[in-house]
A and B are shown apart, each in its own frame.
Chain A
Amino acid sequence: MKMKYYSEAHEWIMIKDNEATIGISEYAAEELGDITYVELPIEEDDVTVGDTIGVIESVKAASDVYSPIGGTVTEVNAELEDNPGLINESAEKEGWICKLANIDVAEIGDMMTPDAYVKYLKSLD
């Protein structure tokens, strides 16, 4: 079963078995505008909750990406190196950033379900 959660910093995480896929939300991509560069995490690195795992730059600004969960980086989306705009086109599917193994599902803690995230976005307006 797949489970999707969102952080207040607008990262999403999709959990399947013991593996997590991480990206930024469509809302975050829209807010950033055209993305021009993505610094990806390094494969095989161990990360803990809140670690900076990458940088996303748009024409106007740079933002850090924080890992919402701890684990080991097993794969990064290398396509973003040449085509960072993929995040604008498909932030929550083809624009994923990395995959983590060795995760502890308990760390999801107070991350939001998709419904709760939609409500959270409304509260930001």
Chain B
Amino acid sequence: MSDLEIKNTPLAECHKLAGAKMVDFSGWNMPVQYSDGILAEHKHTREKVGLFDICHMGEFRISGKAALEALDTIFARPVFNQRVGLCRYNFLLNKAGKVMDDLIVYRLAEEDFFIVVNAGTRAADSEMIQSQLPEDVVFEDVSDLTAKLDLQGPLAADILAKAGLKIADLPNYFNWTEAVINDIPVLLSRTGYTGELGFELYFDADKAADMWNYLLSFDGIKPIGLGARDTLRLECGYALYGHELTEDYTPLDAGYAPMLKLDDFPEREFTGKAALKALPVENKLIAITLEGRRAARAGADVLDASGTKIGIVTSGAFAPSLGAAIAMAYIESGKSLDIGDEVQLSAGRSTITGKISDLPFYKEGTVRKKL
């Protein structure tokens, strides 16, 4: 198959039937919205529950006696102290300390790991990881065999209860468990990208349409496209690979120093660490709330009060839950801006005034709700 050929998930037919508008996303033919539209889908996910086709994302299975030790040197955050049953957000860095991908590591067993990566970086990640694995560690790219559906929204657990699972058996935040839904074995994790209570389901790709139709048969759930997925994640300040995270930035630029805890494990070595320790942090990722509904888009300039360019917008959109536009941007790390300080953002021929915000922009999310 040609690399240029656009790929379909196993749910392409389902999307067509549901009236989806399809777009090319990282080489995949994906639903950007269904007939209700992005604003309605966003609201539905915040208030009820939505189902997302995320089959385009990549999954690797890495196993063997030496797997733990190897992965601990490949990823930026520690793997050695990650218990079986936990999911951990992590980074794949190049030797220069720049971000090749952000991903989630699942520890399935003592010597067995499941890695979930972005669709657009899957091939490069595979090569980078395999180049660093010892021979006795087994690497499998199981992306094409694996379906991924995200079930997100305050009623997500209710849907799983209707599907026969016990609420008490559902995993805690950033934990995973094995479950059977609609007679299909599922790796079920309490993770997501919306800021709401939610789960991610991994299972046999052949069962994708079966599971999709089954979950959508319950009351209160609707299919949600990538358009709303983007506004939902942006309202929470979650980074999107290709925007806030790229090979131009380190995780320290993006504000992940507290997560990396470089000083907590001084002996621990991983790819990119030397560069992170040696180089000054040049950029700072900031959050901006704009004055009105008009958005500043990725690539727009950030100007200080005197009109001097100090940075660049990485993501920007109208935030449906806030009724105003919001943005994320990199500025030079030397610029000291506090919450509430004003900046100007370019938008076409004009500029829009914004104020530095804290994160998340949207603070009512149910993501950590106790079940």
Q: Which residues of A contact B (CB under 8 A)?
A: 33-34, 36-37, 39, 52, 55, 57-60, 62, 64, 84-85, 88
The answer to whether A34 and B348 have CB atoms under 8 Å apart is: no
Main secondary structure of the interface of A (DSSP, over half): strand
Interface residues of B (CB under 8 A from A): 21, 32-33, 37-40, 227, 231, 292-295, 297, 317-318, 320, 325, 347-350
Is B294 within 8 A of A60, CB to CB? no
Does A62 lie within 8 Å of B297, measured CB to CB? yes
Q: Measured between alpha carbons, how far is A43 from B325 in the docked complex, in Å? A: 25
Complex Cα gap A34–B295 (Å)? 14
Q: Could you give 17 example pairs across A and B, Cβ below 8 Å?
A: A33-B33, A33-B37, A34-B38, A34-B40, A36-B293, A36-B295, A36-B325, A37-B294, A37-B325, A39-B350, A59-B318, A60-B32, A60-B38, A60-B317, A62-B297, A62-B348, A85-B39
User: Which of B231, B294, B325 has the largest count of A CB atoms less than 10 A from its CB?
Assistant: B294
Question: CA A37 – CA B296 in complex, angstroms?
Answer: 12
For the complex of A and B, the 8 pairs showing the least CB-CB separation, nearest first, are: A36-B318, A37-B293, A34-B39, A59-B38, A37-B294, A34-B37, A34-B38, A36-B293
Contact B295 A62 (CB under 8 A): yes
Partner of B294, one of A52, A57, A64: A57
Given contacts A33-B33, A84-B293, 4 further A-B contacts (CB under 8 A): A58-B38, A59-B320, A62-B295, A62-B348
Nearest CB of chain A from residue B362's CB, rounded to whole Å: 15
On whether A37 and B295 interact (CB within 8 A), knowing A55-B348, A59-B39, the answer reads yes
| Chain A residues positioned under 8 Å from B227 (CB to CB) | 33, 59-60
One of A55, A59, A88 near B231 (C-beta < 8 A) = A59
Q: What is the bound-complex CA distance between A52 and B297, given in angstroms? A: 19
Q: How far, in angstroms, from A24 to B142 measured CA to CA in the complex?
A: 47
Chain B residue numbers with a CB within 8 Å of A37 are 292-295, 318, 325
Q: Could you tell me the distance between the alpha carbons of A59 and B38 in the complex, rounded to whole angstroms?
A: 7
CB neighbours (8 Å) of B231 from chain A are 59
Name the A residues within 8 Å of B325 (CB-CB): 36-37
> Given the complex of chains A and B, what is the CA–CA distance between A94 and B295 in angstroms?
24
How long is the Cα–Cα vector from A53 to B88 in the complex, in angstroms? Answer: 50
List chain B residues, Cβ under 8 A from A52: 349
Min distance, Cβ A55 to any Cβ of chain B, angstroms: 6
Docked CA distance A37–B37 (Å): 16
Select from chain A the residue with minimum beta-carbon distance to B36: A34
Measured in the bound complex, the distance between the Cα atoms of B352 and A57 in whole Å is: 14
Q: Are B38 and A57 in contact (CB-based, < 8 A)?
A: no
In the complex, A98 Cα to B290 Cα: how many Å? 26
For B40, give the chain A residue with the smallest CB separation. A34
Measured CB to CB, the closest approach of chain A to B43, in angstroms, equals 11
* Bound CA–CA A62/B316 (angstroms): 12
Q: State in angstroms the CA–CA spacing of A33 and B292 once bound together.
A: 19
User: How far does the alpha carbon of A37 sit from the alpha carbon of B295 in the complex, in Å?
Assistant: 8
What are the residues of chain B within 8 A of A60 when measuring CB–CB?
32, 38, 227, 317
Most buried by A among B32, B231, B293, B350: B293
Q: List, in ascending order, chain B residues with CB within 8 A of A88's CB.
A: 37
Q: How far is the CB of A79 from chain B (nearest CB, A)?
A: 14
Complex contacts, A64 vs chain B, CB 8 Å: 348
Bound-state Cα–Cα, A37 to B316, Å: 13
| Residues of chain B with a CB closer than 8 A to A39's CB | 294, 350
Closest chain A CB from B66 CB (angstroms):
45
User: In whole angstroms, what is the CA distance A62 to B39 when docked?
Assistant: 16
Chain B positions within 8 Å of A62 at CB level: 295, 297, 347-348
Residues of B within 8 A of A34 (CB): 37-40
Q: Tell me, in angstroms, the Cα distance from A60 to B39 when the chains sit together.
A: 11
Cβ–Cβ contact A57 & B37, under 8 A? no
In the assembled complex, the CB of B45 is this many whole angstroms from the nearest CB of chain A, namely 14
Q: Which residue of A lies closest to B295 (CB)?
A: A57
* In-complex Cβ contact of A33 among B21, B293, B294, B349 (8 A): B21
- Min CB–CB distance B240 → chain A (angstroms): 14
Nearest-neighbor residue (CB-CB) of B350 within chain A: A39
CB pair A59–B317 under 8 Å, yes or no, is yes
Closest chain-B Cβ to A91's Cβ sits at a distance in Å of 14
Bound Cα distance A88, B227 (Å): 17
